[in-house]
């Protein structure tokens, strides 16, 4: 097979997969199933954008806090200022990115586990601010009755509004595909290469003239931008946002998706977020014993697949080969 | 009023310090952040509840037994869950998250989700220089700071303590000197978990016991070691006292949210000027 053929078959595969994703609402009628798929798509965006931050060697636990920023920004812009929800969506992302930029330069001086912890405190402070600033945010009870997205009108052609989960599914699907394309392009660009060089050897990259803190802040900002966008989407989808909608454990779960899926490959967080979001649904019948199975799965994955779930096939091949060669 | 709130701050500080000491021991000896430490603390509180209410044991004896039980559990956790991941921050993080789910839900299945309370036998008040102090709170303060002293002397005076210092400075060189890292790790985990259990038991007697009480303790414990500097006992004591006082005094004049904001804001501010915390050093 020649190179162009290979490229063609790869393109065909991706095209087929995307076509399949778009046709899911035609096959799946259950609203609950669609809801789970919407959640999975949200988690894929979150875990993949977190991986960009992590690719510069920083583990951020502020993704939940950044979603809170995005969700409140978009809800308040739409409800108090009457801005179109389609303008509020990118503004929510920009608000999160702006906060990331503001704290970024001082934060990236803090290394390793300290950085992770500082981001925990940042997220906690965002939550506490939302709880404390009652006149703007409504305090602990949050903002309720957030309107769904405005109808999407292309004059003379179509008008889409958002009465059911199907429309939200298409909304998040497009958002997810665009995000992944963007993140992939960054990873393959000079910026992506520079980030990896910083992660592997920060001193050396500095010595060849890379402004490492600028690149780290850039990665942090872009990652937080997408968290803000997802927060805005969530507020329009669920209609309610409270200061504790995305608290500590929410951010922890995004990290779990990323690491258990596999941090080394671009596809890792995608598989991790998808599998770990839908897996609990299959063992729902176990009721209170469900978390035990989930925890067991996490630990088994970490014990046997150091490079994440995406490495399953290679590890399995290795195992298989070993057994046959011995026999 | 102000004396009362300072006293409350000292009580909170004592509790935070006990949790933080365990975290910092585990971090500096094993090189991992044990996120399930809050659940260990919760188990200590539940052990105390069962020993006091169901077995009818004496309060102090129950604390001692609960500390040994939970410390023993810590040794098992170290051996079977954390040993393979020593120094591997990210993978150990996932293991500890799995442990949170396991322990929290185990307690939920066994004991149920409703908070439970038990009274400590020290309900009297004493009056010193015109300030009324509840005996209960004095016990918390003295137990907490007593344990800090014990740990301090353990590390300064004993061979095991010096081995801990050596490992925290350089694991490989320590191993070359003939220090048994496995053994020291289990001792560190035993101590850390026992301290968390005592802290949980004391909180249980003051307030109540619930399967979800661990998250708060973990957050405060992490805040303390970050503020004080990881791996430093003195730093943990200082950081714990500071955060305890903020949490004890600020709510009197404002809200608990404000106390949290001031506390975390203070930590971030300190880190900007001193990235390793007040008395800490760098960790990979």
CA distance A115 to B230: 13
> Which among A111, A113, A256 has the least Cβ separation from residue B94?
A256
Asked if B33 and A113 come within 8 Å (Cβ–Cβ), the reply is yes
Q: Mean pLDDT throughout B47-71?
A: 90
CA distance A104 to A95: 14
Percent of chain A surpassing pLDDT 70: 98
User: For residue B284, what pLDDT is reported?
Assistant: 42
> Which among B33, B222, B261 has the least Cβ separation from residue A128?
B261
User: For residue B54, what pLDDT is reported?
Assistant: 84
Chain A hits for B97, Cβ within 8 Å: 252, 256, 295, 298
Q: Mean pLDDT throughout B146-152?
A: 92
Nearest-Cα distance to chain B for A317, in Å, is 23
Mean pLDDT score of chain B: 87
Structural domain contains residue B38 = yes
Which residues make Cβ contacts (< 8 Å) with residue B183, sequence separation at least 6? Answer: none
Structural domain contains residue B252 = no
Structural domain contains residue B270 = no
DSSP result, B224-250: HHHHH-TT-HHHHHHHHHHHHHHHHHH
Nearest-Cα distance to chain B for A306, in Å, is 8
Pinpoint the alpha helices (H) of chain A.
3-27, 31-54, 63-81, 85-108, 112-132, 134-137, 165-188, 190-200, 202-207, 212-238, 248-261, 267-282, 290-304, 312-326
Whether the predicted model's global pTM rises above the 0.90 cut:
no
Per the model's pLDDT, the better-predicted residue between A322 and A40 turns out to be A40
Q: Confirm or reject contact between B101 and chain A (CB < 8 A).
A: yes
Residue B129's pLDDT band (cuts 50, 70, 90): low
Mean pLDDT score of chain A: 88
Orientation of helix A248-261 relative to helix A112-132, angle to 10°: 140
Percent of chain A surpassing pLDDT 90: 39
Structural domain contains residue B253 = no
Per the model's pLDDT, the better-predicted residue between B107 and B132 turns out to be B107
User: For residue B281, what pLDDT is reported?
Assistant: 64
CA distance B227 to B244: 12
Measured in degrees and rounded to the nearest 5, phi and psi for residue B245 equal: -65, -40
User: For residue A220, what pLDDT is reported?
Assistant: 95
pLDDT at B178 over 70: yes
pLDDT at B283 over 70: no
pLDDT digits (tens, 9 = 90+) for B230-244: 778 888 999 999 999
Residue B252's pLDDT band (cuts 50, 70, 90): confident
Asked if A255 and B277 come within 8 Å (Cβ–Cβ), the reply is no
| CA distances, B151 to each of A237, B2, B63, B164, B194 (Å) | 52, 31, 17, 12, 12
Structural domain contains residue B266 = no
User: For residue B192, what pLDDT is reported?
Assistant: 94
pLDDT at A189 over 80: yes
pLDDT at B98 over 60: yes
Q: Mean pLDDT throughout B82-87?
A: 87
Q: Number of residue pairs across A and B with CB atoms under 8 Å?
A: 109
A154 forms bridges with which residues in the sheet? A158
Name the domain count of chain B.
Answer: 1
> Could you list the residue range(s) of the whole structural domain that residue B200 is in?
22-216
User: For residue A218, what pLDDT is reported?
Assistant: 94
Q: Mean pLDDT throughout B151-179?
A: 88
Asked if B94 and A291 come within 8 Å (Cβ–Cβ), the reply is no
Interface test with B, best of A65, A104, A125, A137 (most B CBs within 10 A): A125
Contact map slice: B 168-227 vs A, CB within 8 A: 215, 219, 222-223, 226
CA distance A252 to B35: 10
Question: Which of A107-121, A169-183, B172-186 is predicted most confidently?
Answer: A169-183
User: For residue A233, what pLDDT is reported?
Assistant: 95
For chain A, the structural domain boundaries read 32-247
Structural domain contains residue B233 = no
Chain A hits for B267, Cβ within 8 Å: 118, 121
The ipTM value here is 0.83
User: For residue B52, what pLDDT is reported?
Assistant: 87
Q: Mean pLDDT throughout A14-38?
A: 87
Nearest-Cα distance to chain A for B181, in Å, is 21
Give yes or no for a contact between A53 and A220, defined as CB atoms under 8 angstroms apart: yes
pLDDT at A210 over 60: yes
Residue B86's pLDDT band (cuts 50, 70, 90): confident
Chain A hits for B271, Cβ within 8 Å: 110, 114, 118
3-class secondary structure, B278: coil
CA distance B221 to B13: 10
A-chain residue closest to B228, CA distance: A114
Percent of chain B surpassing pLDDT 90: 38
């Amino acid at each position: 097979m020649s190179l162009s053929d290979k490229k063609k078959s790869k393109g065909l595969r991706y095209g087929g997969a995307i076509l399949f994703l778009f046709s899911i609402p035609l096959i799946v009628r259950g609203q609950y199933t669609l809801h789970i798929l919407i959640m999975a798509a949200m988690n894929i965006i979150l875990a993949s954008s977190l991986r960009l931050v992590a690719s510069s060697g920083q583990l951020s636990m502020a993704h939940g806090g950044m979603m809170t920023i995005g969700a409140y920004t978009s809800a308040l812009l739409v409800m108090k200022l009457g801005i179109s929800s389609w303008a509020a969506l990118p503004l929510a992302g920009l608000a999160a990115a702006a906060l990331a930029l503001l704290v970024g330069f001082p934060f990236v001086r803090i290394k390793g586990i300290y950085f992770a912890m500082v981001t925990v405190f940042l997220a906690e402070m965002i939550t506490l601010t939302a709880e404390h600033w009652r006149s703007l945010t409504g305090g602990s009870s949050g903002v309720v009755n957030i309107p769904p997205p405005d109808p999407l009108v292309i004059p003379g052609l179509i008008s889409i509004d958002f009465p059911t989960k199907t429309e939200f599914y298409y909304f998040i699907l497009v958002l997810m595909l665009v995000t992944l394309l963007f993140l992939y392009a960054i990873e393959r660009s000079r910026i992506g290469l520079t980030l990896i060089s910083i992660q592997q050897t920060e001193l050396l990259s500095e010595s060849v003239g890379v402004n490492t803190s600028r690149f780290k802040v850039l990665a942090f900002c872009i990652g937080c931008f997408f968290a803000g966008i997802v927060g805005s989407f969530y507020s329009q989808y669920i209609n309610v946002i409270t200061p504790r909608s995305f608290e500590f454990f929410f951010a922890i779960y995004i990290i779990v998706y990323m690491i258990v899926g596999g941090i080394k490959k671009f596809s890792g967080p995608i598989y991790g977020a998808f599998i770990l979001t839908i897996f609990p649904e299959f063992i729902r019948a176990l009721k209170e014993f469900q978390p035990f199975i989930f925890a067991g799965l996490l630990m088994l994955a970490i014990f046997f697949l150091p490079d994440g779930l995406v490495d399953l096939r290679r590890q399995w091949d290795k195992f298989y080969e070993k057994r046959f060669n011995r026999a | 009023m102000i004396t009362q709130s300072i006293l409350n701050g000292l009580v909170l500080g004592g509790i935070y310090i006990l949790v933080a000491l365990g975290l910092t021991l585990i971090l500096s000896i094993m090189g991992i952040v044990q996120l399930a430490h809050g659940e260990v603390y919760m188990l200590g509180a539940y052990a105390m509840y069962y020993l006091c209410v169901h077995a009818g044991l004496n309060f102090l004896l129950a604390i001692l037994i609960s500390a040994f039980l939970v410390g023993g559990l810590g040794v098992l956790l170290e051996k079977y869950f954390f040993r393979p991941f020593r120094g591997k921050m990210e993978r150990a993080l996932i293991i500890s998250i799995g442990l949170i789910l396991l322990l929290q839900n185990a307690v939920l299945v066994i004991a149920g989700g409703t908070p439970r309370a038990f009274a400590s036998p020290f309900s009297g008040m004493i009056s010193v220089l015109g300030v009324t102090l509840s005996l209960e709170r004095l016990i918390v303060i003295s137990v907490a700071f007593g344990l800090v002293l014990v740990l301090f002397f353990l590390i300064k005076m004993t061979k095991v303590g010096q081995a801990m210092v050596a490992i925290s400075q350089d694991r490989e060189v320590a191993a070359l000197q003939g220090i048994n890292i496995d053994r020291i790790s289990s001792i560190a985990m035993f101590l850390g978990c026992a301290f968390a259990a005592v802290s949980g038991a004391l909180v249980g007697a003051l307030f109540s016991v619930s399967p979800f009480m661990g998250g708060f303790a973990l957050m405060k414990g992490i805040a303390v070691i970050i503020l004080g500097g990881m791996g430093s006992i003195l730093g943990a004591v200082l950081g714990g006292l500071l955060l305890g006082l903020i949490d004890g005094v600020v709510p009197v004049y404002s809200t608990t949210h404000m106390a949290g904001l001031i506390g975390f804001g203070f930590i971030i501010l300190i880190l900007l000027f001193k990235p390793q915390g007040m008395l800490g050093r760098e960790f990979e």
